Structure 1
């Protein structure tokens, strides 16, 4: 089945971003030297002689990707994988929401058209596990004829392994890219108003009020107000107020005092210090406001940095500050999300598909992604490599915010099957507060509505 390549919209275009000079591995480096030193690993280092990258030459793989920097990076460099292995790859990118729907429909049919799937852990982990849709990679990782010596579990972060493994300890995917939430701020607006960069949520609220000047068309804060999408922002506040999504018996806990306090802060920020119409904002609208210099602060994922530093798409190039999400009264966490790459259990080309998954999370590919600012690999060997760090094109503050966020990361959504319903229901409650609804009443209504959905799911 032929796949069409879908390009990124202009605001997310990276054009030259993935042309990494500092850590580029040439085709010749990858393909030569096998006679003397055995096959090369995916990082360009000598691998065990048993690894045979050409074992499945001639195989054709179908890949379904969520549109974004990760898929763009894969498609841009996929010829290298084909030259290394002889495996042909047809890959398509689909906008995130449509991709998630399509994947579920095809998996449910029992005959998915793809061998390899790009999955969003924070939305699909438990659903995929319970349905048995992904192949177990554990035996592949233990097979020296399939796995380069540098690909080991211990190189992935704890959050990555938590996402990738099921309750039985089986590796059902390879962790690809982690998305920490950070605080973006406009240095010029801060200096103009004489405001200090906030270290706490209370300081952030106060700063946002000082930075808001409707007559000048500038606002102190912008963020996701749109139902469902707004949960990714709100959970940063919820976690830092000491919130936990589930108790030991897996009962939902989003109507307690922590949730109410977090929602009041969310309500205050988006009604007193945000641009008009923010209740309909997703990340795209939030980014537009920030890149146009109309909003002083924005909390969102680390992967949105490249457009902010792109002169063709941004008016704030060189003016952006990057730092960790401010601390709350009962914690200091960065709401963390992530995606992975897995093999369809129904695929007839599992070993070849595994080689592709391994290449996707390789040091070479991870370096490109990190250096372009398009994502953060889960692998410590990439993040901590001084040579790779030298090639990062984003400002040093961005890389520092990434490293520091990793130290305070916490999963940003409950690991439950009906996570989409959770985001819809609680997200609707949050949006309602932007029209003046009472946070406590809205959260109680949402919790009561979601509880039976979760209970049915857990019993299934």
Structure 2
């Protein structure tokens, strides 16, 4: 394990936090004084340096220490599993990706924050990303009525990116609906110079990318109907309309071979100026604004995702939540919560954005940041974060995503019709739910 300052020096992070260091800036800072050293398991990521900057600020303000064990994404879940299952945990804070939350929550490995500090609640303004900070053990799903299990530390939701220069060339406005998005994409595509829309339809990406289409059409993969009971609703008429919309936009107004485009390829097409618009995570913003990696610096803007037929909007949650394991000492738990509460305060979140991070609050505006052009993504991020959904809120979410991805991908590349793809994906999802211990009902095949 390395102290945050050592990581910072090793990675040669150079950051200037504009906000003054206030030794008594609010209740979060006050409660953070004189705490024991804590350790945190965290992922290597584009936003790590900004988080390290905040840890350094915390240490300077409070005199407390936070040691970060930085692990590549692919190995972090296994480290977390090993630590929370041990008789004595190695980490006082574990950073949990949204896709893993159900597994870690349902295993009973984390201490509810209201038990560490009586009646503790997230500071007002902090986003719950579709109630994914709270877990209802009796229903085995996320719920605003469930116990508070963690504090978000990075708010990675999807937004609509569009190239303002291309939009101006074609006289377009940001779309309000999926039909608007397709019309814009088609007009650009027919111009012959740019790809009208870049999908993210590779098998490792497609379920996450399809989720906003599904939920905005007033549909869902499944719904919890009772304790250990679920109904698969994916293959509904609304679900079919969502998949038809997804396939149409992906195949009629974008690059060839859409079924092979994953996140890396999407960002590259946008960064080179070939792609006019795309739906991607807000974390891609930094790469698109990096003059060493992008030809479109200053030309990209972000917007709210399009609405479905009845005006519904949804964005896939892809955030991170920090939880405190049960198997660490009470004094370490309290110290961990003091740090997380400090981090979630508004003035610290403004510092976090300035350091390059994605905030976990919905009340940070351009005015808070001085209306600097580099932070023009904030409004779109906040709007989409308020519409964040967890498509697969159960412990076997990763397995379910993999199972359905094949059928969706085959629909995009033309090997299955949309009806065939939905029916097969629904059957595969039902199988995963059954193996996870649910009694499953399912809509009849389309």
TM-score, structure 2 normalization: 0.83
Deviation at 1:242, TM superposition (A): 1.4
1:279 aligns with 2:284: no
> Quick one: structure 1 residues 451 and 178, their matched pair in 2 at CA, closer, same or farther if it must change by over 3 Å?
same
Query: How many pairs does the alignment contain?
Result: 420
CA distance in 2, matches of 1:439, 1:3: 51
In the TM superposition, 1:37-436 aligns within 5 A as: 41=26, 47=30, 51=31, 53-56=33-36, 59=37, 61-109=38-86, 112-121=89-98, 123-142=99-118, 152-153=121-122, 155-157=124-126, 159-160=128-129, 162-167=131-136, 169-212=146-189, 216=193, 218-249=194-225, 250-337=230-317, 338-348=319-329, 349-371=332-354, 374-378=357-361, 380=363, 383=364, 388-390=368-370, 394-396=374-376, 398-407=377-386, 409-436=387-414
Q: Cα deviation per residue 1:134-189 (whole Å; 9 max; x = unaligned)?
A: 1222133338xxxxxxx853614563582222226422211333333221111222
Deviation at 1:14, TM superposition (A): 12
Contact 1:155 1:379 in 2 (8 A): no
Deviation at 1:395, TM superposition (A): 4.8
RMSD of aligned Cα (Å): 3.1
Q: Cα deviation per residue 1:379-433 (whole Å; 9 max; x = unaligned)?
A: 64xx26x75242655354x2222343345x0414121111101211222211111
For structure 1, the residue ranges without an aligned partner over 5 or more in a row are 8-12, 31-38, 144-150
| Deviation larger for 361-370 or 252-261 | 361-370
3-state SS, counterpart of residue 264 of structure 1: helix
Q: Cα deviation per residue 1:300-343 (whole Å; 9 max; x = unaligned)?
A: 12232222222222111221132111111133313141321111
> Quick one: structure 1 residues 242 and 390, their matched pair in 2 at CA, closer, same or farther if it must change by over 3 Å?
same
2:20 aligned to which of 16, 25, 28: 25
Contact 2:240 2:419 in 1 (8 A): yes
3-state SS, counterpart of residue 381 of structure 2: helix
Contact 1:176 1:378 in 2 (8 A): no
Contact 2:218 2:312 in 1 (8 A): no
TM-score, structure 1 normalization: 0.81
Contact 1:118 1:340 in 2 (8 A): yes
For structure 2, the residue ranges without an aligned partner over 5 or more in a row are 138-145, 440-446
Deviation at 1:201, TM superposition (A): 0.5
CA distance in 1, matches of 2:12, 2:276: 24
Deviation at 1:104, TM superposition (A): 2.7
More helix by share: 1
CA distance in 2, matches of 1:55, 1:239: 43
